[in-house]
Amino acid sequence: AGGDKGVAREGMLNIDMYRIGRDDKGSQTRELVSDWHYPTSQFPQVSATLMGLGYHVQLRWAKKDIAGNEVEIVTQFEDPEGNITRGATKRLRVPKYSS
């Protein structure tokens, strides 16, 4: 349920990253720029927080021109039976690289 704390479980973490932009007419666009699919067994360290247990995941994206753009991160967990639990969608602005 919504008030339950996080737990470590066997399954797959599926994470999609979309670049948010504008087309020539000013309408918002959403382009898939990276996706990751990892078994939870790949993450031996589980982080304990006030929210419960969770996985500490570091992602490297394929397109390096994301800097300075707004992105949307969509995360879901799929258990061995195929049940999917979706996380809240997150919108972030990726900082520009400084030289």
Q: CA angle 94-96-99, nearest 5°?
A: 145
Q: What is the pLDDT along the chain (99 residues), one digit of tens a residue?
A: 455 555 567 899 999 999 999 999 999 999 999 999 999 888 766 666 666 667 777 787 766 778 889 999 999 999 999 999 998 999 999 888 776
CA–CA dist 35, 39 (Å, integer): 14
pLDDT of residue 1: 47
pLDDT of residue 65: 79
Within 10 A of 13 (CB to CB), how many other CB atoms are there?
Answer: 18
pLDDT of residue 99: 62
pLDDT of residue 56: 74
Q: What is the pTM of this model?
A: 0.75
pLDDT of residue 5: 56
Nearest to 45 by CA among 36, 31, 56: 56
